[in-house]
Amino acid sequence: MTLCVLRFGVLPHFDRKHNAVLVPGPYAVSDSTRSFHNAAFVADMHADSLLWGRDLRKRHSRGQVDLPRLRDGGVDLQVFGVVTKVPRRRRLDSVSDDTDILPLLFIASWRSPATWFKPKERALSQAREMARLAEKSPLSLVLSRGDLSIAGIKGLLALEGMHALGGEEEALIELYSAGYRMIGLAHFFDNEFAGAAYGVDKYGLTELGRSLIPRMEALGITIDLAHASPAALEEALSLATKPIVVSHGGVKGTCPGPRNLSDAQLHSIAENDGVIGIGFWKRAVCDVSLKGIVAAIVYAVKVTGIDHVGLGSDFDGKIASPFDATGLPMLTEALFAEGLSKEDVSKVLGGNVRRVLATNLPE
């Protein structure tokens, strides 16, 4: 009885409350904008939708992403971030790894007891869920370069934080085999591989972290510097020989904050030929509105050039968003209103992300 209450009562309530859509659809755009948007390659570099145990084949009235809404939003590629540990207290100046709020969520979503307290098992379990989703829906998994050309909605697995490796270098192969093609160095807290922007010590790469940079590149895993400490970000960029991403974040030029990128960091990412995904939540853009998101995108384009900016919504990441996935055509219309050309808008919507993944993914 208790498990049923958690699964069908507490979890949906928590999901609806913390993944709110501030302005529910439907959303109106011109026919010409919608036609252009649907023809473009649209990629969002971060959504945490797998965490909540929803059946993503069905349209839901809670949360921000499911396959029907991705289809209506003209999304070609959704990067699904996988969260494996979230500290109970998340002070932005110093977050430790000594607490974890996810056991209750994994129990409530009726996942295997093996996942309740082990980050790596959570990562492997969500990878299996993603594989089953691809088997039972029109979603295609992106595992290699050629998969980017498959028609319809595509999904790519990304891991938030290398703590899920448990300090074991060889666990990288296990996670790669499970389908992960993007891995973030850190999440909320420092780990055995890299310091985090919100971590206690915020150090750079450890010896283990430095050793895994070339291994990830050789496997075809894109390195994600979202959540990495400034020291880890700088060091990873100095070691990287392939383009990196900051999958979801903001820029200090429009919204100061410990995770948002300075102009100097933006220049470094551009020099690496990487991409920054602009997020849709308050700490990323300060102004949680279509206008605020566009302001951050335009600022990043001015600093880095048009080839280094993309979308990183953080949908379903316990954020309030001004729209759900069906509202993305409004972003296209707003970018046109800012004077961006069709070619430039295509790059921001997903062309830049596609270029990076086509460079990094295995053949």
* pLDDT band of 7, cuts 50, 70, 90: confident
Structure letter (DSSP) for residue 116? S
Q: Which residue has the tokens 């600093």?
A: 303
Mean pLDDT of 228-239: 98
Is pLDDT at 90 greater than 80 in this prediction?
Answer: no
Q: Which residue has the tokens 């059946």?
A: 55
* pLDDT band of 2, cuts 50, 70, 90: low
Mean pLDDT of 105-129: 93
Beta-carbon count within 10 A of 337 CB = 10
- The range of the structural domain enclosing residue 116 comes to 2-360
Q: Which residue has the tokens 């310091």?
A: 195
Structural domains counted in the chain: 1
Is pLDDT at 5 greater than 60 in this prediction?
Answer: no
Mean pLDDT of 168-172: 93
Q: Domain of 152: which CATH number? A: 3.20.20.140
Handedness of CA 63, 67, 71, 76 (dihedral sign): positive
d(CA 308, CA 336): 18
Residue 285 has what pLDDT? 98
